Amino acid sequence: MSATLTDKVVTIEHSSGATAKVALFGATVISWDTNGTEHLFVSKQAILDGSKAIRGGIPLVFPIFGTKPQISLPQHGFARNSYWDYLGILTENEKEVSVRFALKDNQLTKEQRQAWPHSFRLVYTVTLTAKSLKTYLTVKNEDSDTMEFNTLLHTYFRVKNIADVSVEGLQNYTYADKVLSGATDVENRDKITISSEVDRVYQNVKDHLELNLGDGNKIAIDKSGMKDTVVWNPWIEKAKGMGDFGDEEYKEMICVETGSVAQWVRMEAGQSWTGGQTLTLV
Ligand code: TA6
């Protein structure tokens, strides 16, 4: 087992043969592989030079989801567009290997600080076991004032064929449908399938969901500290509109994203908050 930093990417290896890779840029998990099967989708056209958020893997959304009129930050905030510090190995034993990354307010640009003038420290822990990948974020409000933020793990799962895939566990939850300008509705399906553009924020969702990959395999998605779940597939037209995404790549990915985005997470001065997810092959 080990974790090594090469060319701004940390490679984590577990004794089972499972591996994961985390780019320092955005602390973006860009690979999770077990027995030669890659579970995360990264576009073949992803830009990996630090000039743009990585199109794929697990981009970390913070401090805003989408854009906010009063906060002049790019969509989904600055965390996925910043170089994080590598803090090294936290645990390394037969069961798991975990590594940590940090981002502090003084690492932001002047413009970012002006847009979001809070003193904070983020610590992101990535843990690999034989069958699971855990990604947890701790936010520390180092300010003397309260702080509000959104956060989300924008997870791109790799699938063989989107037509065979379903998301299970969201029945009866209210969602905001961004394809319909945010109109809300209640999900009536126990298995959500994708056959057109989907961009939905399911609110106050239970902590256990399952992604059925359609090939006999499932991934359990267990969140903690996160209230909501976003389901997104750009489908044909939106896929064509993204320069860092292949026109046909919508067929081989689905985003199921755990986060707290429907409402602000509010923190008092000096308070810490932790949220994240565990992805497990089942
Ligand atoms: O999480 C879904 C979403 O908010 C979609 O609305 C779409 O914009 C997607 O994120 C990708 O956003 P990005 O800024 O990475 O192109």
Report the SS3 class of residue 91: strand
Report CA(236)–ligand 1 centroid distance (Å): 15
Contacts of 131 (CB under 8 A, 6+ apart): 16, 18, 34, 280, 281
Report CA(55)–ligand 1 centroid distance (Å): 10
- Give the position of tokens 């267990």: 222
Cβ proximity of 103 and 79 under 8 Å: yes
Cβ proximity of 166 and 212 under 8 Å: yes
User: Closest ligand 1 atom, CA of 76?
Assistant: 14
Q: Catalytic one among 76, 154, 187, 252?
A: 154
Give the model confidence (pLDDT) of 184-196 as tens digits: 999 999 999 999 9
Question: Tens place of pLDDT for every residue, the chain, 282 residues?
Answer: 799 999 999 999 999 999 999 999 999 999 999 999 999 999 999 999 999 999 999 999 999 999 999 999 999 999 999 999 999 999 999 999 999 999 999 999 999 999 999 999 999 999 999 999 999 999 999 999 999 999 999 999 999 999 999 999 999 999 999 999 999 999 999 999 999 999 999 999 999 999 999 999 999 999 999 999 999 999 999 999 999 999 999 999 999 999 999 999 999 999 999 999 999 999
Looking at the DSSP bridge assignments, the partners of residue 29 are 22, 58
Looking at the DSSP bridge assignments, the partners of residue 86 are 101
Burial class (CB in 10 A: 0-12, 13-18, 19+), 61: buried
Report CA(61)–ligand 1 centroid distance (Å): 10
Query: Can 257 be counted among the known catalytic residues?
Result: yes
Pocket of ligand 1 (CB under 6 A): 53, 66, 75-76, 154, 178, 199, 230, 232, 255, 257
Q: Is the pTM of this model over 0.75?
A: yes
- What the block records as the tokens of 193 is 């399938």
pLDDT at 1: 74
* Cα 173 to Cα 183: distance, rounded to the nearest angstrom: 14
The CA dihedral of 111, 117, 121, 124, to the nearest 10 degrees, is -60
Query: Can 237 be counted among the known catalytic residues?
Result: no
